[in-house]
């Protein structure tokens, strides 16, 4: 679907967009693990301003290829979020259930702003209630793997994104 060159080019563009959007204030980039880890690492190196990082782990897939609908928060960020610009970095926006849950939890911590950056967005109009400010690629309605995305913990290491 997306080769190494296209991914690198788009991550650079996203880094520039994010740099321009956040001109002042404390910026915390929050990576949604495990899927965003490779994208997150590449992205934060392309953002040209001071920032902090932390992570959150939420799961709704298990070993299946469709979201179970039950979102389990495995790791909650320890960093104080109040008053900071917060950018949640996701690997893929699919049904929106996980993202909705995460955004609710993060809003309760009273950041000064809260936005989402997703490498991939399927634009499936199901449960998604949140706006995704920064999108790498519009994704097909297929199960995708590689560049951090997995199926039952396999394929994350691939340097490109492919359909399972």
| Residue 58: closest CA among 71, 47, 68, 46 | 71
User: Residue 150 catalytic?
Assistant: no
Integer Cα distance of 31 and 156 in angstroms: 15
Which residue of the set 24, 94, 138, 150 is catalytic? 94
Q: Tokens standing for 4?
A: 């190494």
DSSP letters, 65-84, are SS--S--EEEE---S--TTS
52-59 and 72-75 beta bridge pairing: antiparallel
Active site residues: 94
């Amino acid at each position: 679907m997306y080769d190494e060159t296209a991914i690198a080019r788009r991550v650079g563009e996203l880094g520039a967009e994010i740099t321009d959007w956040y001109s002042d204030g404390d910026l915390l980039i929050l990576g949604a693990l495990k899927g965003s880890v490779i994208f997150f690492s590449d992205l934060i190196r392309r953002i040209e301003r001071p920032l902090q990082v932390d992570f959150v782990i939420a799961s709704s897939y298990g070993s299946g290829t469709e979201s179970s609908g039950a979102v389990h928060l495995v790791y909650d960020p320890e960093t104080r979020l109040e008053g900071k610009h917060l950018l949640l970095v996701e690997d893929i926006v699919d049904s929106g259930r996980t993202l909705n849950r995460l955004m609710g939890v993060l809003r309760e911590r009273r950041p000064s702003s809260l936005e989402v950056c997703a490498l991939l967005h399927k634009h499936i109009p199901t449960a998604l209630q949140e706006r995704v400010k920064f999108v790498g690629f519009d994704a097909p309605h297929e199960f995708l793997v590689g560049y951090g995305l997995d199926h039952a913990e396999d394929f994350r290491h691939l340097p490109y994104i492919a359909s399972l």
